Structure 1
Amino acid sequence: MSENYLNHPTFGLLSRVCAVDEYRSLFTTLYAQRLFFLITNSPTGVQFEPVSRADAKLLVENRLRALRRVGPLNEHDILQNVYKRTFAQ
C-alpha cells in the first residue's frame, strides 16, 4: 500500500487512509487527521464528500473485514496499523 495524497481546495493536503472500492477512497487531513472525506474518482471528475469520524471508522473496519477474507495479509496488517494510529484517540 503506497502513500497517496490529494490537494483539497479548502483543507489543503489530504492523505489516503484506504481504498473503499474500485472508485472510492477514504482520505483525511494530513496533519490533524480529524476531517475525513470520501473521494470518488469518476469519468466526470473527482468528488469530495465529507464524512464523520464514526462513518470513516466504519468504512475502514469494513475494508479490514474484506481484506481479512480475500485480501493479501500484508495489506491487512498495514491497514490495521493505520486504523490503530488514526482511531485510537
Structure 2
Amino acid sequence: MSTEIYINHPNFGLLYRLCVVEKNEELFTTLYAQRLFFKVIIQPQETIFEPLSRTEARLLVEAKLRRLRGNGEWEAYKQVNELYQRTFQ
C-alpha cells in the first residue's frame, strides 16, 4: 500500500514526502521538479522547514538505509532503497 503525504510550504507550495528520516523528522521535496529538498521537523507548536541541498538529502537517505540494514529491517530497507534509486540515481 502506498500512502502519499503532502505538506504546504509557505513559499514553495506543495511538497511531497519522500520518507521518514527519524521520529518527527521527514524528508520532503518539491512536488514537480524534485530539485529542492527539505527536512521537515514536526513539533507540537510548530513545523520547521530546513532546506537541504540534493547532496545533503542524498546523504540523509543513505544514513537511513545504513540504519535499516544494521537493524535488519529488510522490508523498510527495500522501500527506501527503491526511493533512493528513483530520486538520486
TM-score normalised by structure 2 residue count: 0.90
Q: Deviations over 1:34-79 (max 9, x none)?
A: 0000100012210111011110000000000111111531111111
Q: CA RMSD in A?
A: 1.3
What aligned pairs does 1:1-89 form with structure 2 within 5 A after superposition?
A: 2-70=3-71, 72-88=73-89
Task: Go from structure 1 to structure 2 and tell me whether the alpha carbon gap of 1:4 and 1:71 turns closer, same or farther (over 3 Å shift).
Answer: farther
- State, as a whole percentage, how many aligned pairs show the same letter: 50
Where does structure 2 lack aligned partners over 5 or more consecutive residues? none
Q: Deviations over 1:3-29 (max 9, x none)?
A: 211111221111111111101111001
Count of matched residue pairs: 88
Where does structure 1 lack aligned partners over 5 or more consecutive residues? none
Runs of 4+ in 1 over 6 A off after TM superposition: none
With 1-10 and 52-61 compared, the bigger mean Cα shift is at 1-10
Query: Greater relative contact order: 1 or 2 (C-alpha under 8 angstroms, separation 6 or more)?
Result: 1
Q: CA deviation at 1:87?
A: 0.6
